Amino acid sequence: MPPALSKDRELTVEGRRHRICPFSDLPGDLAARAERLPFVVRILLENVLRHVGRNDVTMDDAVRLAGWDPAAEAVTEVPFHPARVLMQDYTGIPTLVDLAAMRDAMAALGHDARIVNPQIPVDLVIDHSLIVDEAGHAGAAAINLEHEYRRNRERYHLAKWAERNFSGMRVVPPGRGILHQINIEAIAKVVRSEPGSDGAAFAFPDTMVGTDSHSTMVNGIGVLGWGVGGIEAEAAMLGLPLVVPLRRVHGVRLEGELREGVTATDLVLTLTERLRAVGVVDAFVEFFGPGLAGLAVVDRVTIANMAPEYGSSCAFFPVDQQTLAYLGGTGRPPEAVALVEAYARAQGLWRDASDPERLYSGVTAFDLCAVEPCAAGPRRPQDRVPLAAIADSFRAAMNVEAPGDRLPADGMRDGAVVIAAVTSCTNTSNPHVMVAAGLLARKAVAAGLRTKPWVKTSLTPGSRVVGAYLRDSGLQADLDRLGFQIAGYGCATCGGNSGRLAEAIEADIEARGIVAAAVLSGNRNFEARIHPLARANYLMSPPLVVAYALAGNVTVDLTTEPLGCGADGRPLFLRDIWPSSAEIEAVLAATVSPGLFRSKYERLFEGDPKWQALEAPPGSRFPWDAASTYIRRPPYFDGHEPEASAPQDVRGARCLVMLADSITTDHISPVGDISPTSPAGRFLQDRQVGPRDFNAYGSRRSNHEVMVRGTFANIRLRNELVPGHEGGVTRDLETGEILPIYDAAMAYAARGVPFVIVAGRDYGAGSSRDWAAKGTRLLGVRAVLAESFERIHRANLISMGVLPLQFPPGTDRRSLALTGSEWFDIPDLAARLAPGAEVPVFIRRTDGTVETVVMRSRIDTANESKVLAGGGILPFVLRRLSARAGAAPDIEKDVA
């Protein structure tokens, strides 16, 4: 039955009335023009219309957005109020620390601390603390979870305190899965129905921001959302709009269908390569075309997950019949599915074959039929390699030669696969590729194949649903026989938490200088992310991960060479054991059902007995422990003044680090293991923390003392100020001494010398790591001078009060012949904070000459100008809240 939209702005679905905000509220003929707008723009437009009159949002904002011109170069600023915030623990718990510190600052200003409280729903999923310490045996998951609780007890106490003190906040305990997979399978609603101010139901699109760059995964089910830094998420939580700079919406027209034997992973790696080449950084990407009709949602979410890898703000798939099938298939109530369809049709947010092509800034046609089996690596997710070319790509990229006929006795040589991990929500959310991995394992086991002894194998699914259908189908038993026992439910190897290799393997790699490799079904393979000893890292589908664990080396050409010899002594090829689509569908039909999803998610927020036994600290203000090495009150509000002071000019700055292209947030932000000899390692040992108890940087993110010492500490960082060196070191340009970057920054600060960073293209690519910006700010960096910036990191730098400046076209550190011996002056800063302003930078050389380079401010919106002028988002928000505090209603005394 079609939805009924009455004249009084109500939508009736299955007998229940829902108020909506229709586009007919737009003046004149704008509602008719808005019918051709991309779906993402229409969702943003509804959001603006619904919030007119709040937070300075006006009808002018809606009119401006409704008139968005796809050909215009100008940015349209959109005041966006997301419906909710989704956080993982690596970024989420530091966010809670910031809010707890803001409560203290609010109290210091004489106001009730509880004014600092989320105004929209917040979900924190504890999923990034899992480390694969144990793998390859039945008890691995239990042991890893035990280690996780032991290492992170303080952090989890803070999460419990926050859940108790912040209204509308829920915590998903450890061991449940990965936030993005839990989001699409259970939390996301697509259309929300909530009581309005008068108690009547109000229906509107489910929108969100997440403190993880792969929050875009939810775009695959028709929910608009993307990753932001935790500091932006804090502003959204506290009810402030996020000002979205909308310039381009790029359409991707999908045609055809995938061929037999080609996976969704092959598809997304091919799309990533293609869209990187097209250039969609900072653009909103929207998919359309006849190829959508046959593209299942589990394939769409795989594509949407990797939007950060091709650089776009989002990767949106509109609501259609496939969406409804997925919602029903994952156990959503029938009335919720009916509301999604009715609302989407009524508001012009429904996609079908009769849709005219919408207004896009540009269009890329993509033929699904042309996709072939592939991987991506060895260092970047956009570097797609056809399956047959992986061996050559490895040798060329890593500068190693073929071994010839002489092989070491143990079989390990360059290209040895030392980690094979079926990991990450990117692929474990897709039952087709997971079942394919299980069937390939079954056939390999039946033929007598086994994984090579030097391969650390692991399986870390993104939800407990995966474990259930693999177990029920019997496929987990086959994976177990190859060492792919479940090692835990969470973000593990893909996030850098692969754990140690066997001691003998690590010693062999180091002693013989083996260029080892990792293969994983994730979305990130940046240098030193997966494991310090895995120099080459390839992304691939789960069945290919299993296949390379059998082959044992990435130089084996799986298209022509055997995986090994079976029990009968005959060579067995990948083609011999690759499962067919019919085999995969038969397993899915027998094991995956709506009831399975409902049963696994009905107690999502309860946790195990260990979690339930954790007590929340008392009080509405967090009781900081000065002796803690995990949680420290951050310094962002130290010396806070009610009024912001004008930004100080930069005079006589030195270059702290000079970097090339494609510097990722993994290079900048502290990630992975903490070295005992690093500044962070020395800091911990000075406080009686031994190396065995260091934990990973990610688990120490709530201690700024550790994190600032680990900023730019990546062991693969190549700083052009110290050619021939690799790692987090630089040259003190005033003494000539080579030092850890942290030590050099402190030495400059002690002398009163400011400093900047100089970099190439795509600075800050990768995850939305807050600490890439926080660490930069706490080191004391005043500005970053780069050829171009990735979206999230650019915004995060501004949020932390660091100025991003972009070289003019044709100018860079090389054309300027910068050596690091120069001094940099950036005067009149207070007058140059407008969006896109021209900012003269004066470069003084040792011979006394001065060269002026007019750079472009990468402050992209007026709101960002206010934030930077206010010293960053945290003091900016505190001033806003403090100004409103006098008019705030009384809050009940100590809710805790």
Q: What is the pLDDT of residues 171-198, one digit of tens each?
A: 999 999 999 999 999 999 999 999 876 6
The DSSP-derived string for 136-150 is SSTTHHHHHHHHHHH
Number of domain units in the chain: 4
Query: What is the C-alpha to C-alpha distance for residues 526 and 550, in angstroms, rounded to an integer?
Result: 24
pLDDT value, residue 892: 33
pLDDT value, residue 645: 86
- With CA atoms as reference, report the closest residue to 421 among 537, 338, 571: 537
Strand partners, 825: 842
Asked whether 505 and 552 are in contact (CB, 8 A), the reply is no
Same domain for 467 and 584? Answer: yes
Please give the structure tokens belonging to residue 883: 């100004």
User: CATH code at 663?
Assistant: 3.20.19.10
Q: List the alpha helices (DSSP H) in 498-602.
A: 503-512, 542-551, 574-577, 581-591, 594-601
Distances (CA, A) of 516 to 416, 417, 451: 5, 6, 16
- With CA atoms as reference, report the closest residue to 428 among 480, 467, 388, 383: 467
Same domain for 545 and 593? Answer: yes
Same domain for 347 and 384? Answer: no
Asked whether 545 and 422 are in contact (CB, 8 A), the reply is yes
Annotate 722-755 with three-state secondary structure.
Answer: CCCCCCCEEECCCCCCEEEHHHHHHHHHHHCCCE
pLDDT value, residue 888: 46
Q: List the alpha helices (DSSP H) in 67-169.
A: 89-108, 140-151, 153-165
643: DSSP letter: S
* Pairing status of strand 76-80 against strand 84-88: unpaired
pLDDT value, residue 727: 93
In a domain, 49, yes or no: no
Asked whether 816 and 869 are in contact (CB, 8 A), the reply is no
pLDDT value, residue 14: 87
Asked whether 894 and 620 are in contact (CB, 8 A), the reply is yes
Same domain for 532 and 550? Answer: yes
Q: Which of 370, 391, 418 is the last residue of a domain?
A: 370
Query: What is the C-alpha to C-alpha distance for residues 636 and 874, in angstroms, rounded to an integer?
Result: 7
Query: What is the C-alpha to C-alpha distance for residues 523 and 424, in angstroms, rounded to an integer?
Result: 7
pLDDT value, residue 863: 82
User: CATH code at 342?
Assistant: 3.30.499.10
In a domain, 200, yes or no: yes
Distances (CA, A) of 800 to 424, 808, 864: 29, 24, 11
Under 8 Å CB-to-CB from 771, ≥6 apart: which residues?
Answer: 94, 669, 670, 701, 707, 711
In a domain, 460, yes or no: yes
pLDDT value, residue 401: 83
The gap from C-alpha 265 to its chain's centroid, in whole angstroms, comes to 18
Domain enclosing residue 741, as ranges? 650-669+716-881
Same domain for 384 and 274? Answer: no
Q: What Rg value do the Cα atoms of the chain yield, rounded? A: 27
Asked whether 517 and 400 are in contact (CB, 8 A), the reply is no
At 724-761, the pLDDT tens digits run 999 999 999 999 999 999 999 999 999 999 999 999 99
Q: What share of the chain is helix, strand, coil (3-state, %, to 5)?
A: 40, 20, 45
In a domain, 384, yes or no: yes
Same domain for 190 and 337? Answer: yes
Asked whether 73 and 112 are in contact (CB, 8 A), the reply is no
Under 8 Å CB-to-CB from 893, ≥6 apart: which residues?
Answer: none
Cis peptide before 378 (omega within 30 of 0): yes
Same domain for 387 and 342? Answer: no
In a domain, 755, yes or no: yes
In a domain, 701, yes or no: yes
pTM score, whole prediction: 0.88
Same domain for 420 and 562? Answer: yes
pLDDT value, residue 100: 96
Strand partners, 785: 758, 805
pLDDT value, residue 271: 98
Same domain for 752 and 866? Answer: yes
Same domain for 677 and 663? Answer: no
- With CA atoms as reference, report the closest residue to 533 among 427, 412, 426, 452: 412
- Give the phi and the psi of residue 493 in degrees, each rounded to 5: -60, -40
The DSSP-derived string for 771-820 is HHHHHHHHHTEEEEEES-B-HHHHHHHHHTT-EEEEPPTT--TTTTT--S
Query: What is the C-alpha to C-alpha distance for residues 624 and 626, in angstroms, rounded to an integer?
Result: 6
At 783-808, the pLDDT tens digits run 999 999 987 799 889 999 999 999 99
pLDDT value, residue 55: 85
The dihedral formed by the CA atoms of 311, 313, 317 and 319, expressed in degrees to the nearest 10? 170
- Give the phi and the psi of residue 798 in degrees, each rounded to 5: -60, -40
In a domain, 64, yes or no: no
In a domain, 627, yes or no: no
Same domain for 389 and 335? Answer: no
Q: Which of 370, 389, 423 is the last residue of a domain?
A: 370
Asked whether 587 and 475 are in contact (CB, 8 A), the reply is yes
pLDDT value, residue 842: 98
Which residues does the chain have with pLDDT short of 50? Answer: 1-7, 887-896
* Pairing status of strand 76-80 against strand 242-246: antiparallel
Angle 334-346/321-329 helices, nearest 10 degrees?
160
Asked whether 302 and 264 are in contact (CB, 8 A), the reply is yes
464: left (phi over 0), alpha (psi -120 to 50) or beta: alpha
Asked whether 896 and 615 are in contact (CB, 8 A), the reply is no
Locate tokens 């008139």: which residue? 67
The gap from C-alpha 63 to its chain's centroid, in whole angstroms, comes to 32
The CA angle 797-803-804, to the nearest 5 degrees, is 75
Same domain for 423 and 543? Answer: yes
pLDDT value, residue 28: 86
